[in-house]
Chains A and B, each alone.
Chain A
Amino acid sequence: MQAQSPLLPTAVGVGYKPKHFTAILADAAPVRWLEIHAENYMGDGGRPIAQLRHLAERLAISVHGVGLSIGGEGRLDPDHLARLRHLCDWLNPASFSEHLAWSTHDSHFYNDLLPLPYTAASLARVCDHIDEVQTVLRRRMLLENPSSYLAFAASTLSETDFLRAVTQRTGCGLLLDVNNVFVSATNLGYSATGYIDAIPLDQVGEIHLGGHDVDCDDHGAPLLIDSHGRAVVDPVWSLLDHTLAQSGPRPVLVEWDTDVPAWPVLMQEARRADRALGRLKVAA
Chain B
Amino acid sequence: MTAQAAFHAALLDVACPVPEGLCDGSGRPAGRRYGVYRNNVAVSLRDALDTGFPATARLLGAENFAHVAGRFLRSAPPTTPVMMHYGTGFPAFLEGLAPLAHLPYLGDVARIELALRASYHAADSPVADATILQGLDETAFFEARLVLAPSVRLLRSPWPALAIWTYTLRPNSPKPLAGAQDTLILRPDFDPEPHLLPDGGFAFLEGLDRGHCLGAAMDQAGEGFDPGPTLGLLLAGGGISFIHPPKE
Contacts and interface: CB of A to CB of B under 8 A. Distances in A.
Interface of A: 39-40, 42-50, 66-69, 72-73, 77, 79-80, 83, 102-112, 114-117, 149-154, 187-190, 215, 217-219, 221, 223, 225
B44 to A, nearest CB: 5
A105 B5 contact: yes
Nearest to A71: B4
B48 A111 contact: yes
A83 B81 CA distance: 11
Contacts of A114: 4, 7-8, 11, 37
Given A102-B4, A109-B78, A39 B83 contact: yes
A105 B8 contact: yes
28 contacts: A40-B84, A43-B121, A44-B122, A45-B121, A45-B125, A49-B124, A67-B81, A67-B82, A79-B80, A80-B80, A83-B82, A102-B4, A106-B8, A110-B77, A111-B48, A149-B33, A149-B34, A149-B36, A150-B24, A150-B34, A151-B22, A154-B21, A187-B25, A190-B25, A217-B31, A217-B32, A218-B32, A223-B36
B123 A45 contact: yes
Given A46-B122, A46-B187, A112-B44, A150 B81 contact: no
B25 A42 contact: no
Contact of A150 (B2, B22, B79): B22
Interface of B: 2-5, 7-8, 11, 21-28, 30-34, 36-37, 40-41, 44-45, 48, 77-84, 120-125, 150-151, 187, 190-191
B222 to A, nearest CB: 33
The 8 lowest CB-CB distance pairs between A and B, nearest first, are A67-B81, A43-B121, A189-B25, A188-B25, A47-B190, A44-B123, A45-B124, A218-B31
B122 A43 contact: yes
Contacts of A47: 120, 190-191
Contacts of A80: 80-82
A188 B3 contact: no
Would you call the interface of chain B mostly helix, strand, loop, or mixed? Answer: loop
Given A154-B21, A218-B32, A111 B80 contact: no
A42 B82 CA distance: 7
Contacts of B31: 217-218
Contacts of B123: 44-45
A218 B25 CA distance: 13
A217 B24 contact: yes
A153 B81 contact: no
A43 B85 CA distance: 9
Nearest to A189: B25
A249 B99 CA distance: 59
Given A153-B22, A221-B24, 9 more contacts: A45-B123, A45-B125, A49-B124, A112-B44, A117-B21, A149-B34, A152-B21, A187-B24, A187-B25
B36 A151 contact: no
B241 to A, nearest CB: 12
**Most central of B8, B27, B31 by chain A CB within 10 Å:** B8
B187 to A, nearest CB: 7
B81 A39 contact: yes
Contacts of A44: 121-123, 150
**Most central of A42, A66, A83 by chain B CB within 10 Å:** A42
A110 B79 contact: no
B156 to A, nearest CB: 24
Contact of A39 (B4, B25, B82): B82
A117 B3 contact: yes
**Most central of B7, B31, B80, B187 by chain A CB within 10 Å:** B80
B124 A187 contact: no
A11 to B, nearest CB: 30
Given A46-B124, A151-B23, A151-B25, A109 B33 contact: no
Contact of A149 (B37, B79, B151): B37
**Most central of A66, A110, A149 by chain B CB within 10 Å:** A110
A185 to B, nearest CB: 9
A217 B3 contact: no
A110 B94 CA distance: 21
A79 B122 CA distance: 19
Contacts of B48: 111
A10 B125 CA distance: 38
**Most central of A40, A43, A110, A150 by chain B CB within 10 Å:** A150
Nearest to B84: A43
A116 B33 contact: no
Contacts of B33: 149-150, 187, 217-218, 223
Nearest to B11: A110
